[in-house]
Amino acid sequence: MSRLADMGTIRGTNIGGVFLIEPFIRPSLFDQFNTSTVAELPVDEWTFSAALGKAEARRQLEEHWDTFVTRDHLEEMAEYGINWIRIPIGYWAFNLTADEPFVDGQIPYVERLLGWAQEIGLKVELDLHGAPGSQNGYDNSGHRVSPQWLYSRINVDRTLDALRQMTQLAIEWSDVVYGIQILNEPSRWKWPVSQILEFYNEAYDLVRGMTDDVFFMVHDTFLGPNDWGQLVSANWTDALMDTHIYQMFDNYIITLSESAHIDMVATMAENVTRFDRTSIGVVVGEFSAATHDCTRYINGFGRGSRWDGSLEGVGHPLCPLATCTCTGDYGGDYTQFSASYRAFLSRYVDAQLGIYDELAGWFYWNFRTESAPEWDYLLGVQQGWFPKFPRTAEPLVSKEEPEVSDIGSASPAPPSARRLRRAALALGAAALLAVVV
């Protein structure tokens, strides 16, 4: 029997904004820039790295990778009842060309995170979050630009190469990695669904040609559940459909009252729960406690909000209140939240979990932020609007001798296959990679 059988409910968090930075998760990385025009401001990891240059970008990002997520964060989440984490990674961690401004070097930190997950007992989903040319044009792809991904076979081949290396990483950490998401949020508005399915099938053949021992996970491209059949193939095994459910990126939904937002949870999830799960399960890979878009940079660096009417193209405030300001309950300081708003957040989260727990499970976005309270899982539990569950994560036994991390350690251990491959990926040393793969 597959080890994936009878897994129980996934209760996870996203480790977002670490190995692919997003302005709203860590705005301090972007607030450092002072340019003469808004057009020159970095808005994503591509322009962030280009503005700083590779040496300084590497220095700042290595500090970020080293400190923004820690073992203590993972242990705390496990104590609160989290049993999975989803780790978004950009393609450039695996496949970077000299003409791109990105910097690589993420993999040793990813492996350190996998080691912590192993020690704590968390299962892991590896998520290819950004593809060459951008699969959706959002900053969460690493490059906020008109999407070019599927226009180039070179882009597709590079995406598959990154996925191959990610799958190899999953195989080497098979006691920890239980899922691979082949690509986050490819845009059905840019390319026909049939072309996206072609990529999905290529990716399936690649992953299953290497391992049968992970969930094969695909995103729904924001199609409604009634149309998900266009995105799956009958021969897939151990597959999960990933859907992201948010209530703040729509001009109509932003106008709803608190009670209407809670009612909307069931409306938005109704067809999700009806999807035929005999061949493919459903996981809500992203959701949050937010029902407004006041969060700084949530619509992208330098952009405003629908809530107060400052978002380009909106023209007037859309919030359901007499005064639409991004302060108090709708600001970035949770200490200013009223008791009634905190109670609403709790009811809204409970309404979502009541449905998502009946699916394959869920991953909250995000595990933490700098100043986006409704998007911060750890803060939500600490402040009482996200519930705790009994701890189910149990420490796993390593399949190889313990090794001392080469990150921040003065006592290096003898090189293992994992460590040799880690060096090969970081240095781009194809010859060394061939020795250990």
Domain boundaries, the chain: 10-399
Count the Cβ atoms, other than its own, within 10 Å of residue 415.
Answer: 14
Whether the ω angle into residue 155 lies within 30 degrees of 0, i.e. cis, is no
Burial of 186 (0-12, 13-18, 19+ CB in 10 A): buried
Phi, psi of 372 (to 5 degrees): -130, 80
Assign residue 362 a region: left if phi > 0, alpha if psi is -120 to 50, beta otherwise?
A: beta
Which class is domain 10-399? alpha beta
| Residue 241 bridge partners (DSSP) | 218, 282
d(CA 47, CA 144): 9
Q: Which residues are the active-site residues?
A: 185, 286
- Per-residue pLDDT of 419-431, as tens digits, reads 444 444 444 433 3
pTM: 0.91
Q: Which residues pair with 282 in a beta bridge?
A: 241
pLDDT of the chain along its 437 residues, tens only? 456 666 789 999 999 999 999 999 999 999 999 765 666 789 999 999 999 999 999 999 999 999 999 999 999 999 999 999 999 999 999 999 999 999 999 999 999 999 999 999 999 999 999 999 999 999 999 999 999 999 999 999 999 999 999 999 999 999 999 999 999 999 999 999 999 999 999 999 999 999 999 999 999 999 999 999 999 999 999 999 999 999 999 999 999 999 999 999 999 888 888 886 667 999 999 999 999 999 999 999 989 999 999 999 998 999 999 999 999 999 999 999 999 999 999 999 999 999 999 999 999 999 999 999 999 999 999 999 999 999 999 886 554 444 444 565 433 333 345 544 444 444 443 333 333 33
